[in-house]
Amino acid sequence: MAVTRALTITDVYDRFVKGKKTKVEDWDYKVIPENLTALKDKYKIKFEPGQIIPEDKDMVNRLFQAGLEMLVTTGYYCQDLGRVMHVTEEEVWEGIKKTPTKLILGEGKDIARFYPRHGNSNVKPIIQGGPTGSPISEDVFVQIMQSYAQEGVVDNLVNGVMTTIEGHPAKSKTPYEIRATMAELRATKEARVRAGRPGLGV
């Protein structure tokens, strides 16, 4: 029996290129809903009103098995390529095994350590602050990022997206997109310094 190894980014790309051509409308409105409904029935998934996170261990296990089967049978969709790639159950487990048991972001007094958490965990959750991919004007980018960085409860930052650079739209696949990205990095660094937290992870 061949030893399963974790997939590389090039493995993933090759599988997408060779994957089944699928329209995004079919993926969103046919493939996903039909597969979800079938697995919901197969694993008898039922949520109690008002209970967002189930605590019943049998239900939790069935949810995991349903999710695993959904991933293996349905696969991943790449909208840019309009194709679907699949993974095996063995590859999923190998990926889980390779998942880091801790993650360290930032440096110095601003360092944040991430550890796995389970239901009703006593481990403090990590708090990420930031506009998380939202469009932000270049005129107020530093100030907005600073407003998150200066909050003591924030453990690390997530960038917004600069919509313009020197007045030019930061259009995708143009040099302006690259310049805007570089400006975001500089502005985020400045925001952390202004907030007195230069080592805060991003």
**pLDDT of 2 higher than 60:** no
Range of the domain at 150: 123-194
91 shares its domain with 137:
no
Strand partners, 139: none
Pick from 167, 198, 191: which is nearest to 180 by CA? 167
177 shares its domain with 142:
yes
pTM score over 0.85: no
pLDDT in tens, 47-56: 888 888 888 8
Q: What one-letter code names the amino acid at 48?
A: E
20 shares its domain with 90:
yes
128 found inside a domain:
yes
Q: What is the mean pLDDT of residues 154-175?
A: 94
Strand partners, 20: 84
Q: What is the mean pLDDT of the chain?
A: 93
14 shares its domain with 88:
yes
**Residues making up the chain, counted from first to last:** 202
**pLDDT of 183 higher than 50:** yes
pLDDT in tens, 122-131: 888 899 999 9
48 shares its domain with 93:
yes
Q: Which two tokens stand for residue 127?
A: 């708090």
